[in-house]
Amino acid sequence: MHNPMDFSGRTVLVTGGGKGVGRGISERFLAAGADVAICGRNPPGTLPAVDGREAFFVACDVRRHEQLETLVNTIVDRFGRLDVLVNNAGGAPHADAATASPRFHESIIALNLTSALHAAQLANRVMQQQADGGSIINIASVSTIRPSPGTAAYGAAKAGLVNLGHSLAVEWGPKVRINAIVVGLVETEQAHLHYGDAEGVAAVGRTIPLGRMAVPGDIGNTCLFLASPLASYISGSSIAVHGGGEKPAFLQAANASTGG
């Protein structure tokens, strides 16, 4: 019986796949046998690798459409196909929405939303010509479903990314499936910049119902599922991978007021 998680002979592109969540996704697909291409403005210190098999890196600023075109063409030239696109590149520094410049907001939306649309459009052109189509996975954020103070443009862009998938699934089916992952708090190599030392990370983890923050491989596992035949009837959907979400603040406030 064929293993539905065997991606041998498949080609996967993970934007921003050299670090953080993207690296975890890249490593999961490598372990599953896929040929993995990653991109970024600069190469990572070390390429994602599993059992001696490395990801293929292409320099690309995903906000530049002409560079995205070169990226996709390079991958198809090298591997002959493109089966999975994971739109992972994104992020935003903290900024006050009242004082941030228009240029700043435009840049955040370009990185987190517009670039994913352009990459998806280019990948779709390839996938529509393949007998078995392809799968596009957009990496969204819990900022999609809750307030995002300090990163308002980022939250709005990620919300747009989820809605984008709903529309593209209708336009591009049945050949191409599009889904989103609503990602919660993840412990990456840069976690200390946001949460402090190991105790800070553990303290944040205790606020999550499953008792810990995610690790990049948790997101990678969900990508594997969504790209696999096991998810062949899932399209236009979003899956929350956030450990149960956040404990409601009003419960803590109520318990504190009653001495509970």
How many Å is the maximal CA-CA distance in the chain?
66
* Distances 57 to 39, 105, 159, 177 between C-alpha atoms, Å: 6, 29, 29, 25
DSSP 8-state assignment for residue 55: P
Residues 6+ positions from 8 with CB-CB distance below 8 Å:
33, 34
Closest C-alpha to 176, from 216, 218, 119, 215: 119
Q: How far is CA 34 from the centre of its chain?
A: 17
Please report where in the chains the tokens 């990948």 appear, as a residue: 123
Torsional sign, CA 140, 237, 136, 162: negative
pLDDT at 258: 63
Return the number of other C-beta atoms located less than 10 Å from residue 255's C-beta.
10
* Distances 83 to 14, 197, 240 between C-alpha atoms, Å: 11, 39, 23
pTM for the structure as a whole? 0.94
pLDDT at 98: 97
Please name the residue ranges forming H helices in the chain.
20-31, 65-79, 102-109, 115-127, 152-172, 191-195, 198-205, 216-227, 249-257
pLDDT at 260: 56
Q: Which domains does the chain have, with CATH numbers?
A: 11-257 (3.40.50.720)
Rounded Cα distance, 124 and 89, in Å = 18
Each residue's pLDDT tens digit, 145-192: 889 999 999 999 999 999 999 999 999 999 999 999 999 999 887 776
Residues in the chain with pLDDT values less than 70: 1, 192-194, 256-260
- Which residue in the list 154, 160, 169, 219 is annotated as catalytic? 154
Asked about 195 being catalytic, the answer comes back as no
